[in-house]
Structure 1
Amino acid sequence: MPKIYTKEQLIARLREIRDMGWVKNARQGNVGGVGNTLEDLLGIEENNLPIPNASEWELKCQRSNTTSLTTLFHCEPSPTALRIVPSILLLKYGWKHDKAGKRYPLTEMSFRQTISGAIRSDRGFKVVIDRKDRKITISFDAKAVDPRQADWLDSVSNKVGLDELNPQPYWGFDDIYHKAGTKLLNTFYVLADVRKNSDGIEFFHYNRILKLTKFSIDGWLDSIEDGCLYVDFDARTGHNHGTKFRLKQNELPRLYKAIEEI
């Protein structure tokens, strides 16, 4: 039978694990080993935190001091009926896929951009917060396109012109709040230091435990504007891999109103 914890018992066990010091990675060579090893130590199944009558809690574990991004959830922009990513961004603003004629047909196009709210991408895209209309929008500015993308910009000019996106893809504040309410649950957030011995064997020290509650839409918007939270488009002619919101590692506490260190 899987182990069942109360919240108090889980906190006590996390403290015990923290006090164990360095423990061996149970999934050597696996980036996700930091979470899998913690689940093994807790005696729980992957992505399943068994707290009775508290299904709104989840456990997240990350490595300290890493620059990689973590995916929070997928969410296509509005107006959803227009299928903006494959029908507009890919068709009008896409470019030749780097594997066209190799893995994919010669006609394969790509629209793959990880877009920040702090600076524009080399193709002139940026995430813009419209607080008046309560929208998170995607903006295009042809004047901000890097000169190295001149050929691509010419193709955009020929297809659709160089004005602002019309319509602009967007997410309403309320839509994000409700989506996050189901995906970004109250969280036990554990950070682990990492080291390797002379044989290349990896060890973790789960040395910081935070209890995060009450999702904050203001924290979400600030994280976009500060360049910590990104919109990630990943579409090609043959398949739209989905639009994702992705966060810099170790920035998760910014998205909650209440942060308690255990």
Structure 2
Amino acid sequence: MKNKEKIIEEFQKVKNLGFVKSSRKNNTGIGKTFEDYIGVIENNLDEPDLLGYEIKSHREEATSYVTLFTKSPNFPCKANAYLNSNFGTPYEENPSLNKLHTSMFASKFNTYSGKYSFKLINDRLAKVVKIGVYDINTKALINDSVGYTYECLGKIIEKKLKNLLYVSAEREYREGVEYFHFNKAEIYTNPSLDKFLDLIDKGLIMYDIRIGSYQSGKNYGKPHDHGSGFRIIESNIKLLFETHESIE
């Protein structure tokens, strides 16, 4: 049996279960629940989740952002440490260490720490997507030395998102506990770097920096990437792919 047929069969098995209890509270509960039932082991690897397919799940009524992939900047060396030490803000409970949590787009400036504005820079000539740090008042560029090469982005898109199973679920509450019925799915295939870059330029892809510092143990003081990466509103995910197929 081919992987596509197998992944459809596995989805339909879960669908036929009807409503199932959430495996975890909060927003990540839906994804964890479906992955538990379909047999995915939770991980942060760059590999697809199961049988060559990346799996994303969402509540039918949701209009939130979904993570396409997480990846630390690939230039320069020790990029996370550089960003955090130069532009991060101290932890309230441990002022000697920094954290840097902010979201940005290529289409507009954000505000951070009352001092900086962050904005993605898609430099098509240099073939890089850079993290631009600007003065919050004048919008003068302070730094754009950190980012991703097109080669890096293209490889992870091809590797992580080549095949995507996108699952929808109804939900209901029973005595305060969330239950899901995974009732619909779509298979998306053939993403492209060109489409990804166009979506960045249009402001449809958001980039999150999620860098902290280890506050104990052997790595004390070193940067800790909590999942910096690229995200998109659920309803726009189809714009990244050439083809899709609905599964009932």
TM-score, length basis structure 1: 0.71
Alignment partners' CA distance in 1, 2:243 and 2:96: 50
Q: Output the aligned Cα RMSD.
A: 3.2
Instruction: Specify which of 131, 136, 139 is matched with residue 138 of structure 1.
Output: 131
Equivalent in the alignment of 1:204: 180
* Stretch of structure 1 that moved more, 226-235 or 131-140: 226-235
C-alpha contact (below 8 Å) 1:24/1:201 kept by paired residues: no
1:94 maps onto 2:88 in alignment: yes
Bigger helix fraction: 1
C-alpha contact (below 8 Å) 2:173/2:179 kept by paired residues: yes
Equivalent in the alignment of 1:51: none
Alignment partners' CA distance in 1, 2:185 and 2:245: 9
Q: What's the offset of the Cα at 1:138?
A: 1.7
Pairs aligned (count): 227
CA shift digits 1:54-110 (9 cap, x unpaired)? 943343323330525436122224123xx23323x333333333x2xx3x2x32233
1:1-262 map, 5 Å: 6-15=3-12, 17-18=14-15, 20=16, 22-27=18-23, 29=25, 31-39=27-35, 41-42=37-38, 44-46=39-41, 55-64=51-60, 65-67=62-64, 69-70=66-67, 72-80=69-77, 83-87=78-82, 89-97=83-91, 99=92, 102=93, 104=94, 106-122=95-111, 123-142=116-135, 144=137, 163-166=140-143, 168-197=145-174, 199-236=175-212, 238-242=221-225, 244-250=228-234, 251-262=236-247
Alignment partners' CA distance in 2, 1:236 and 1:202: 31
Alignment partners' CA distance in 1, 2:87 and 2:30: 39
Alignment partners' CA distance in 2, 1:234 and 1:218: 25
Alignment partners' CA distance in 1, 2:69 and 2:224: 15
Alignment partners' CA distance in 1, 2:137 and 2:178: 43
Q: What's the offset of the Cα at 1:189?
A: 1.6
Equivalent in the alignment of 2:216: none
Secondary structure of 1:113's aligned partner:
strand
Alignment partners' CA distance in 2, 1:138 and 1:9: 40
CA shift in 2, pair 1:185/1:69, >3 Å = same
Q: What's the offset of the Cα at 1:163?
A: 4.9
CA shift in 2, pair 1:226/1:196, >3 Å = farther
**Identity, % of aligned pairs?**
21
CA shift in 2, pair 1:84/1:163, >3 Å = farther
C-alpha contact (below 8 Å) 1:47/1:59 kept by paired residues: no
**Larger radius of gyration, structure 1 or 2?**
1
TM-score, length basis structure 2: 0.74
CA shift digits 1:22-75 (9 cap, x unpaired)? 512242536444234434554x34359xxxxx9433433233305254361222
CA shift in 2, pair 1:239/1:202, >3 Å = same
Alignment partners' CA distance in 2, 1:40 and 1:90: 35
Equivalent in the alignment of 1:156: none
Bigger strand fraction: 2
Secondary structure of 1:110's aligned partner:
strand
Secondary structure of 1:209's aligned partner:
strand
CA shift in 2, pair 1:144/1:185, >3 Å = farther
Task: For structure 1, list consecutive stretches of 5 or more residues without a partner in the other structure.
Answer: 49-53, 146-161
CA shift in 2, pair 1:233/1:143, >3 Å = closer
